[in-house]
């Protein structure tokens, strides 16, 4: 099969197996080039391990910290006629690389919100790892079925309180127009908290703790984005922000519940990056394109892997981690520098369809987006016939 990208709106419906494998390898090479992460965890569970921040964290844990990993993801396997999802190919490539390097590594492809998945993880930890010393919670999902009631909740990306009108870029047509989003009602807010809030993180930590598969001094971290003025109406102060606020509550509750083990739960605030999750959020593609332009000029541009490395070295495994007053690790410090935000804010009203490629790094955004699916990667022959049926022994 000759595989070319099939982009529909803000998603790409196929993926390139060799491109994904090379993308994973490039991130492994980056981490190896940084040297060893001192005092890092040696046994790590990553929930949401196959793309974006979860994948980068798994790579940092293994190739920087020397960790065995168990990963959980929800990905589409390939068929003879249809490629797998990118996360499937990424995880298959990660497993090969990690095992070749001598690390234990297994991946469960299933619904992390379900009790059955939690049970499976626990029995695999008991059998092969005994205990884990770091749990990374990096899920991004539009829906969640509550394991207790069987009710499925959908999240919404809407402002809270009042409607919000802002400049929005259609990444397909490259049209920029004013987009008005009506405010969410109470039910939509509650449902988004149910999907992306802290409840499932707590259920995971409760189940792992009860099964005694957490080591003494175990750490756990869940990821959030806070952003600044430009993104607050659609992120920080919107439905997704409400859900993310609930992570702060959960972090405090989990830390209290792990007290007898000397365990610690933190929320980690990461910068905006191009991922499958962020490309679905209105305003974000334009904001990220502008931010990348400014940060590349400043020499402070970072993607998932650089952020994951700094999370490990400057926060998780640093004697004096960069924490804010709410006990959150801050790895978004470069994005939120006042001078950086001021430049982005000054450019924002000037952006138009005519100057999109001069004022913003939309070219970089598009390339980055395609790379998520294994396209546009140096060294990959996209005219070659490739077999989509990559074999992976996911559980
Ligand atoms: P992503 O879409 O790249 O990754 C999501 C992961 O969750 C994938 O591994 C996917 O397989 C997994 N997943 C989704 N539903 C699942 C399910 N039901 N069961 C098992 N696995 C499932 O997203 P991302 O952008 O890397 O986001 C990860 C976290 O980082 C999120 O909490 C997000 O809010 C946060 N974050 C993202 C950004 C950003 O700009 N992308 C910034 C800061 C924080």
Pick the catalytic residue from 30, 53, 137, 235. 235
The reported pTM is 0.98
Select from 302, 318, 312 the least CA-distant residue to 136: 312
**Per-residue pLDDT at 172:** 86
377 lines ligand 1 (CB under 6 A): no
**Per-residue pLDDT at 275:** 94
- Which residue's CA is minimally distant from atom 38 of ligand 1? 272
Catalytic site residue 88?
Answer: no
Select from 276, 365, 383 the least CA-distant residue to 16: 383
Ligand 1 centroid vs 223 CA: distance in angstroms? 9
DSSP state, 256?
H
Select from 166, 180, 228, 176 the least CA-distant residue to 362: 176
111 lines ligand 1 (CB under 6 A): yes
DSSP state, 157?
-
**Per-residue pLDDT at 10:** 85
**Per-residue pLDDT at 9:** 83
72 lines ligand 1 (CB under 6 A): yes
- Which residue's CA is minimally distant from atom 36 of ligand 1? 224
257-307 pLDDT tens trace: 999 999 999 999 999 999 998 998 888 999 999 999 999 999 999 999 999
Give the residue carrying structure tokens 């519940």. Answer: 257
Q: For the chain, which domains are there?
A: 7-146+192-277+301-333 (3.40.50.720)
* φ/ψ (deg, to 5) at 206: -65, -50
Residues in the chain with pLDDT < 70? none
* Cα 321 to Cα 342: distance, rounded to the nearest angstrom: 26
Atom of ligand 1 nearest to the CA of 276: 2
- Sign of the Cα pseudo-torsion (181, 183, 184, 185, in order): negative
75 lines ligand 1 (CB under 6 A): yes
331 lines ligand 1 (CB under 6 A): no
- Which residue's CA is minimally distant from atom 14 of ligand 1? 141
320-337 pLDDT tens trace: 999 999 999 999 999 999
């Amino acid at each position: 099969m000759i595989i070319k990208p099939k982009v529909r709106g803000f998603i790409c419906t196929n993926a390139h197996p060799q491109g994904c494998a090379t993308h994973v390898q490039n991130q492994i090479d980056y981490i190896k080039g940084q040297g060893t992460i001192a005092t890092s965890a040696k046994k790590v569970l990553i929930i949401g391990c196959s793309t974006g921040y979860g994948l980068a964290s798994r790579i940092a844990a293994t190739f920087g910290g020397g960790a065995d990993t168990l990963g959980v993801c929800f990905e589409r396997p390939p068929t003879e006629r249809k490629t797998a999802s990118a996360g499937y190919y990424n995880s298959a490539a990660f497993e090969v690389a990690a095992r070749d390097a001598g690390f234990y590594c297994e991946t469960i492809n299933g619904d992390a919100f379900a009790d059955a998945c939690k049970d499976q993880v626990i029995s695999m930890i008991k059998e092969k790892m005994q205990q884990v010393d770091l749990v990374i919670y990096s899920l991004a999902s539009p829906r969640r079925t509550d394991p207790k009631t069987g009710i499925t909740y959908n999240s919404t990306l809407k402002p809270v309180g009042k409607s919000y009108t802002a400049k929005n870029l259609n990444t397909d047509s490259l049209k920029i127009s004013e987009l008005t989003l009506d405010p969410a009602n109470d039910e939509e807010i509650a449902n988004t908290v149910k999907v992306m809030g802290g409840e499932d993180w707590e259920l995971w930590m409760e189940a792992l703790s009860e099964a005694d598969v957490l080591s003494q001094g175990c750490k756990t971290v869940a990821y959030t984005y806070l952003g600044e003025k430009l993104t607050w109406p659609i992120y920080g102060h919107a439905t997704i922000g409400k859900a993310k606020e609930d992570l702060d509550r959960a972090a405090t509750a989990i830390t209290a519940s792990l007290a007898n083990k000397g365990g610690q739960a933190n929320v980690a605030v990461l910068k905006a990056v191009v991922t499958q999750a962020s490309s679905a959020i209105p305003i974000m593609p334009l904001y990220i394109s502008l931010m990348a332009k400014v940060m590349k000029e400043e020499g402070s541009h970072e993607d998932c892997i650089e952020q994951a490395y700094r999370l490990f070295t400057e926060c998780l495994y640093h004697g004096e981690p960069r924490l804010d007053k709410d006990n959150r690790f801050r790895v978004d410090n470069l994005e939120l520098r006042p001078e950086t935000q001021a430049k982005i804010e000054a450019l924002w009203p000037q952006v138009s369809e005519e100057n999109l490629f001069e004022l913003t790094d939309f070219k970089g955004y598009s390339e980055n987006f395609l790379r998520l699916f294994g396209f546009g990667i140096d060294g990959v022959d996209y005219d070659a016939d490739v077999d989509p049926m990559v074999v992976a022994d996911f559980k």
